[in-house]
Structure 1
Amino acid sequence: MQTVINEIKELFEQFSKDEINAVDKLPQSGGDRVYFRITTDKTSYIATFNNNLKENNTFIAFSGHFKKAGSPVPEIYAVNSDKTIYIQQDFGNASLLHQLETIGYKDDVYALYQKSLKALANLQINGDKGLDYNLCITSKEFGKQAIIADLLYFKYYFLDTLKIPYDKEKLIDDFDALSTYLSHVDHKYFMFRDFQSRNIMVKENEIYFIDYQGGMKGALQYDVASLLWQAKAELSDQWKNNLLQYYISCVEEILNKPIDKNRFEAQYNGYVLIRLLQVLGAYGFRGLFERKAHFLISIPLALNNLKHFLANKHVGIVLPEFERLLSIIIEDEVVKRFQPTKATDKTPLIVKINSFSFLKSGYPKDETANGGGFVFDMRGILNPGRIDEYKTQSGLDKGVQDFLEQQTKMPEFLNSIYNIVDIAVEDYINRGFESLMINFGCTGGQHRSVYAAEQVARHLKNKFNVKVQLSHMNKENWRTLL
């Protein structure tokens, strides 16, 4: 990684004479892209490292094109010769989702949604003019085949896992009918594809777009559906309806003509359904197949979002077998399969989580009458304590955390631990047990075990709302800067 940082510094010097104060690695995002923040006395920049040259080329080309169309996308300042590193404008850390979660459903946030939708309409319509769709990473257009692919993704990775009997031929017929209906829309322009509030940055009360390199030609409705029906945002019906009407008015203003609102909204509802099912397919794949805990936790929220949609909206086409299955998967007994047992104020269970050193302290002793518990040996994970820059840090420090998350198999290790520990915690809550101990050991009790203990404590609090007592037993022996 130091080699990449050196290359970033060399590239920066080609377009700026400002002295670099720091190059900090940022948390991993989607795909294989690795982000860094370059800080100078005057300002900051984002450097991206990615070996996927096609993705880089698409993002760089789309950025330049959309910038000329007046869209709020980042300026690309420099690209290295092999196009694996590029430096772009920095919009900070606050996304629209962050503003919503921090400020709440206030007028200021509503205004940011309006700004986002107005800028989206401009990017979709004016950004479509002269855009080279040969640059698209996957398909050039989100047409019938792409819609069917999303429906099959939902079928294989979520619906089939529930083992609900259905008529496969009738279901495929419904998929074909829905994809045909939605592919014949009146307005096809650039489609962002992943237009969610986390991909809209907010800086000085202005909005900016990132992560549009997966875009293609498609229906205007898809991106609006993605934003307004994002499960985590939990927008009210009033906000959704009013913002949709505002977006339609923006489209009419840019096109300089009215559109058929009834037809637009009916097909919008169809794309809402497609988006909700695509998200469930993704949660199913990441959660049920890859066993990533974060996605499993998100499934009930997505199902409740789908339940609300089916109760209040109509797609505009009859799909008998598909509608029958959708009515089943939103039933309470199905949703409860994915909802963990939550602790209450009366739950006696206390989960004691410790990090320790095998060499300096040995196994923690459980003083309760229960005894036992879990002991996980973290020494199979590459030790950041052997690297000079991390020797005086611990698993509480960002540098060590980034190293463990991005350069070791720690994420896979923790996902396995979550699967094991969750079974015990849920059972202990249901049976009224009072104590469970979970221990993480490594060589010095400073890096790997500390990080693992912190992550499991956070996971159990978030998933089960259980009381946790966290202790780092060898903290007094950590090698730290004096």
Structure 2
Amino acid sequence: MQSIIDGINKLYSEWSGAACDRIEILPQSGSDRRYFRIHASKGTAIATHGHNIPENETFLYFSQHFYNQQLPVPEIYALGEDKTIYLQQDLGDVSLLNRLEAEGFTENIYDLFKKSLHQLALLQIKGHQGLDYTRCLTNQEFGKQAIMADLLYFKYYFLDALRKPYDKQKLIDDFEALSTYLTHTEYKYFMFRDFQSRNILVSPGDAVHFIDYQGGMQGAPQYDVASMIWQARANLPDDWKDSLLNDYIDSFEQIVNEQVNRDLFKSQYNGYVLIRLLQVLGAYGFRGLFERKAQFLTSIPQALKNLRSFINDQSLGIAVPEFSKVLQMCVSDEIIDRFTPLVADEETPLVVKVHSFSYKKGIPQDSSGNGGGYVFDCRGILNPGRIEQFKSQTGRDKGVKDYLEQQTRMTEFLNSVFDIVDISVEDYIRRGFESLSVNFGCTGGQHRSVYAADALARHLRNKFKVKVELKHVEQEAKNWVNG
């Protein structure tokens, strides 16, 4: 990490002629890229580090092309000699998804979605002009092969994991028919590929800017609209979905200066909604069912409900009988219930007692009379307490949390813990049990165990709405002595 920070310092100094005052490590997203905020007398900038040089080159090429067209993307300031580090404009860290979750389905939020879709149409059409698609990271066009890849992704990583019978050859035949139908679209422009509210940054004054379009290629404009309007986490109301689609078509017609056959446009849009919903389910299946990452498993029920809402209300414009049968199976109550965790209510007696402790002082006693519960040893995780700047901090301080999340295997460790504890919590809620204890120990009960206990308490409250008693044994003892 230090070598990356040194590289950022060097690149920033070469570009600006001044040194950084401070470099802030930003939380890591789902990709392998790392982001940093540079604080300096000239203001802030974002530094990005990524080992995938072709991905960096594609992002930089697209960004420069779009920026020259006065489209809402960050300005690129500088690129390091080895092409693993680049500097870009700081657009803040408030996404449209953040605003939606904070404010709800208000008129102002609707206007931000409408504005984003208008800017999307500009990006797709104006950005397409003069763009060299040979610079794309993967495929140059979202054609039949790419559509089939998304459908097969869903098949292998979600559908087949259900272990339900279906006619595999008939399904592949339907995939072929659907991908052929969608390939013959009337319009092909730049396709963002991952256009959703978390990739739209909202700055003061409600200006919107786009990030993470390096996976883009030429394709049908309806795909990006489907990605945004049907994003599972946003969970937009049905009337918003209909109105926003019409708003987008209005913008599209205005920019291309011609009238659109709305029935055909919407029919193909429905096909891309389905493709996007299934691609997301495939991703959740891969991350959740195969990589065992709990946060993706908990997203599956809403994604399935989105899919059920879509297939019950919309027509694809093409007959795909086996595919239709498979989709109805996927959105059945049985399958949705399989992925929906039990949620505690006011009558649920269960209390989960989560403790952090120091192994030097001993494992906390279970006062419930049930003989104790889980004890997880965090000492296999790198210890931030060995680093001078963290010695006086705890697992609740930002620097320590960043270190554990970004430089250790703590996230992987906790995902496994969540999987194990979830089994007991679901069973205890179902059977009416009253108590479960979960203890995290480390050498001093100060850094790793505190962070882990906080993370589990947050996970259980979010997923099961269960009552949690959280106690940091060593830290509370210190506070009592100091007080």
Q: Report the TM range for the smaller structure's normalisation.
A: over 0.9
Equivalent pairs, count: 477
2:287 pairs with 1:286: yes
In structure 1, the residue matched to 2:126 is: 126
In structure 2, the residue matched to 1:67 is: 67
In structure 2, the residue matched to 1:163 is: 163
3-state DSSP of counterpart to 1:356: strand
- The alpha carbon displacement at 1:41 in A equals 4.2
2:369 pairs with 1:382: no
Whole-Å separation in 1 of the counterparts to 2:165 and 2:30? 35
Quick one: structure 1 residues 477 and 6, their matched pair in 2 at CA, closer, same or farther if it must change by over 3 Å? farther
- The alpha carbon displacement at 1:477 in A equals 4.6
AA aligned opposite 2:270:
N
3-state DSSP of counterpart to 2:57: helix
In structure 1, the residue matched to 2:452 is: 452
Whole-Å separation in 1 of the counterparts to 2:238 and 2:68? 35
Whole-Å separation in 2 of the counterparts to 1:30 and 1:441? 28
- The alpha carbon displacement at 1:276 in A equals 0.3
In structure 2, the residue matched to 1:339 is: 340
2:32 pairs with 1:39: no
Whole-Å separation in 2 of the counterparts to 1:415 and 1:19? 39
In structure 1, the residue matched to 2:443 is: 443
Whole-Å separation in 2 of the counterparts to 1:354 and 1:427? 21
In structure 2, the residue matched to 1:404 is: 404
Over residues 331-365 of structure 1, what are the superposed CA-to-partner deviations in whole Å (9 max), with x where a residue is unaligned?
11110000111100111111000011101x21000
TM-score, reference length from structure 1: 0.97
In structure 1, the residue matched to 2:474 is: 474
Whole-Å separation in 1 of the counterparts to 2:31 and 2:302? 24
Over residues 289-335 of structure 1, what are the superposed CA-to-partner deviations in whole Å (9 max), with x where a residue is unaligned?
11100010000000000010011111110100000111111111110
In structure 1, the residue matched to 2:303 is: 302
In structure 1, the residue matched to 2:109 is: 109
In structure 2, the residue matched to 1:89 is: 89
In structure 1, the residue matched to 2:313 is: 312
Report 1:21-420 matches (<5 A): 21-204=21-204, 205-359=206-360, 361-420=361-420
Write out the 4+ residue segments of structure 1 that deviate beyond 6 Å after TM superposition.
Answer: none
AA aligned opposite 1:338:
F
Whole-Å separation in 2 of the counterparts to 1:167 and 1:241? 34
Identity of aligned residues (%): 61
Whole-Å separation in 2 of the counterparts to 1:6 and 1:91? 23
- The alpha carbon displacement at 1:20 in A equals 3.0
Whole-Å separation in 2 of the counterparts to 1:313 and 1:41? 54
Consecutive unaligned residues in structure 2, runs of 5 or more: none
Whole-Å separation in 1 of the counterparts to 2:398 and 2:307? 37
Whole-Å separation in 1 of the counterparts to 2:320 and 2:400? 52
> What's the Cα RMSD here?
1.2
Whole-Å separation in 2 of the counterparts to 1:132 and 1:474? 60
Consecutive unaligned residues in structure 1, runs of 5 or more: none
Whole-Å separation in 2 of the counterparts to 1:275 and 1:431? 39
AA aligned opposite 2:155:
K
Q: Decide which moves more: 391-400 or 345-354.
A: 391-400
Whole-Å separation in 2 of the counterparts to 1:388 and 1:50? 28
- The alpha carbon displacement at 1:15 in A equals 2.4
- The alpha carbon displacement at 1:186 in A equals 0.5
2:37 pairs with 1:12: no
AA aligned opposite 2:276:
R
TM-score, reference length from structure 2: 0.97
3-state DSSP of counterpart to 1:158: helix
Asked whether the 8 Å contact 2:9–2:19 carries over to 1, the reply is: no
Whole-Å separation in 2 of the counterparts to 1:324 and 1:304? 16
Whole-Å separation in 1 of the counterparts to 2:142 and 2:380? 44
- The alpha carbon displacement at 1:63 in A equals 0.3
AA aligned opposite 1:286:
R
AA aligned opposite 2:423:
I
Whole-Å separation in 2 of the counterparts to 1:447 and 1:342? 30
AA aligned opposite 1:210:
I
AA aligned opposite 1:329:
C
- The alpha carbon displacement at 1:387 in A equals 1.6
Over residues 174-219 of structure 1, what are the superposed CA-to-partner deviations in whole Å (9 max), with x where a residue is unaligned?
0000000001101011100000000000001100000000111110
3-state DSSP of counterpart to 2:381: coil
Asked whether the 8 Å contact 2:12–2:19 carries over to 1, the reply is: no
Over residues 255-279 of structure 1, what are the superposed CA-to-partner deviations in whole Å (9 max), with x where a residue is unaligned?
1111211111000000000000000
- The alpha carbon displacement at 1:399 in A equals 1.6
AA aligned opposite 1:473:
V
- The alpha carbon displacement at 1:19 in A equals 5.3
